[in-house]
């Protein structure tokens, strides 16, 4: 199947450069795509308060699992924040103010956002680090338990799109037809072996000091693939790279001094490298170079995930 699927890609690559959105025609034996793509990005946040209760109920009944690293654990914590009976009942870790503006996190807690059927799973400690290892680990870990879930997915983190990463390489990346490592073809073949299940694609998490063009290139490739093939996409990178007002944020190699909130001893002022890569906004992390989510960041991603799951459950806003 992988070789046959690769033939569809070969012709496209002959007409395509990385500056052009990547489109891959699915193998005819791969599980049929949805009738339309489901894309949740920063523009989708306004939909959270509009989710009808019946689709909240339908979404929380879906049995879902996603595999991720530390940012995934942050999102998991955000989902927990939303299910408290009220914002007052939620712990302080759910509602520390935006470190940039001092505004509240926007926490809207309600027990109706019960996520007890949604499971976050940390990757095994060994052999699940590089991007191609994560594809293999997802297939190996999800395969034996797929029957227990309705929705399955995993995310690449900012650690997989740093300097030197091959994830966006046209001949050796995730969207290439690799013979030695697993890639999108193997992922699609795995999905095809589990008809009736929903699979969510993710863009990567981002850090303040994203290392190279790999993050931008890969995330653009993922968006193009999801749209061209009617996939479900949780566009974490786009959400993280826009502040609450919708203004885009870029990496910290910009010549602008930044200090960690309440810690003037930890500051950076990297020279401007003349390359602006989308990066997590300072509103959503307290770190100078990394990208772990603060209260506002994890609440924002959790709200977006509810918008996504409501649509997976049938809502068409």
pLDDT for the residue 259: 78
Residue showing tokens 């999108």: 184
166 in a structural domain: yes
**C-beta separation of 309 from 62 below 8 A:** yes
pLDDT for the residue 33: 54
pLDDT for the residue 166: 95
Measured distance CA(176)–CA(153) in Å, rounded = 20
Angle of helix 295-312 relative to helix 70-82, nearest 10 degrees, comes to 80
Phi and psi torsions of 222, nearest 5°: -65, -40
pLDDT for the residue 2: 54
221 in a structural domain: yes
9 in a structural domain: yes
255 in a structural domain: yes
Torsion of CA 115, 287, 153, 3, to 10 degrees: 180
Which sign, positive or negative, has the C-alpha torsion 85, 87, 92, 95?
positive
Measured distance CA(34)–CA(31) in Å, rounded = 9
Task: Looking at the chain, list the stretches that DSSP marks H as alpha helix, in order from N- to C-terminal side.
Answer: 2-14, 53-61, 70-82, 131-142, 184-192, 213-228, 236-240, 295-312
Closest CA to 41 of 241, 310, 217, 225: 241
Measured distance CA(71)–CA(298) in Å, rounded = 9
pLDDT in tens, the chain (317 residues): 454 444 344 333 333 333 333 444 444 334 445 689 999 999 999 999 999 999 999 999 999 999 999 999 999 999 999 999 999 999 999 999 998 899 999 999 999 999 999 999 999 988 899 999 999 999 999 999 999 999 999 999 999 998 889 999 999 999 999 999 999 999 999 999 999 999 999 999 999 988 678 999 999 999 999 999 999 999 999 999 999 999 999 988 877 887 777 777 788 888 888 778 999 999 999 998 899 999 999 999 999 999 999 999 999 99
Closest CA to 72 of 172, 192, 200: 200
Domain count, the chain: 1
pLDDT for the residue 305: 98
- Exposure on the CB side of residue 305, measured as CA atoms within 13 A: 34
214 in a structural domain: yes
Q: What burial letters (b/e) apply to 36-67, b meaning 16+ CB within 10 Å?
A: ebbbbbbebbebbeebeeebbebbbebebbbb
Which sign, positive or negative, has the C-alpha torsion 249, 251, 257, 262?
positive
317 in a structural domain: no
pLDDT for the residue 34: 67
**Range(s) of the domain holding residue 99:** 2-17+24-312
pLDDT for the residue 265: 77
289 in a structural domain: yes
DSSP class of 55 = H
């Amino acid at each position: 199947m992988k070789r046959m699927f690769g033939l569809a890609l070969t012709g496209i690559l002959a007409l395509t450069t990385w500056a052009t959105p990547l489109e891959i025609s699915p193998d005819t034996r791969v599980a049929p795509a949805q009738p339309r793509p489901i894309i949740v990005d920063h523009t989708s946040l306004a939909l959270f308060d509009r989710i009808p209760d019946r689709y909240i109920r339908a979404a929380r009944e879906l049995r879902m699992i996603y595999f991720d690293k530390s940012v995934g654990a942050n999102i998991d914590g955000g989902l927990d924040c939303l299910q408290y009976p009220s914002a007052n009942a939620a712990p302080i870790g759910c509602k520390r103010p935006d470190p940039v503006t001092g505004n509240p996190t926007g926490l809207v807690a309600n027990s109706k956002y019960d996520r007890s059927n949604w499971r976050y799973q940390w990757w095994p400690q060994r052999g699940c680090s590089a991007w191609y290892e994560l594809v293999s680990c997802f297939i190996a870990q999800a395969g034996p338990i797929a029957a227990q879930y309705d929705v399955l997915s995993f995310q690449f983190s900012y650690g997989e799109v740093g300097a030197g990463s091959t994830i966006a390489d046209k001949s050796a990346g995730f969207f290439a037809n690799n013979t030695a490592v697993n890639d999108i073809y193997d992922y699609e073949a795995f999905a095809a072996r589990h008809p009736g299940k929903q699979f969510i694609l993710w863009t990567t998490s981002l850090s303040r000091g994203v290392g190279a063009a790999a993050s931008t290139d890969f995330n653009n490739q993922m968006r193009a693939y999801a749209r061209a093939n009617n996939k479900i996409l949780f566009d974490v990178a786009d959400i993280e790279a826009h502040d609450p007002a919708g203004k885009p944020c870029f990496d910290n190699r910009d010549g602008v001094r930044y200090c960690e909130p309440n810690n003037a001893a930890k500051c950076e002022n990297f020279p401007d490298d003349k390359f602006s890569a989308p990066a997590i906004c300072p509103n959503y992390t307290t770190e100078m170079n990394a990208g772990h989510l603060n209260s506002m960041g994890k609440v924002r991603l959790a709200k977006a995930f509810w918008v996504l799951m409501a649509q997976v459950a049938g809502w068409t806003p």
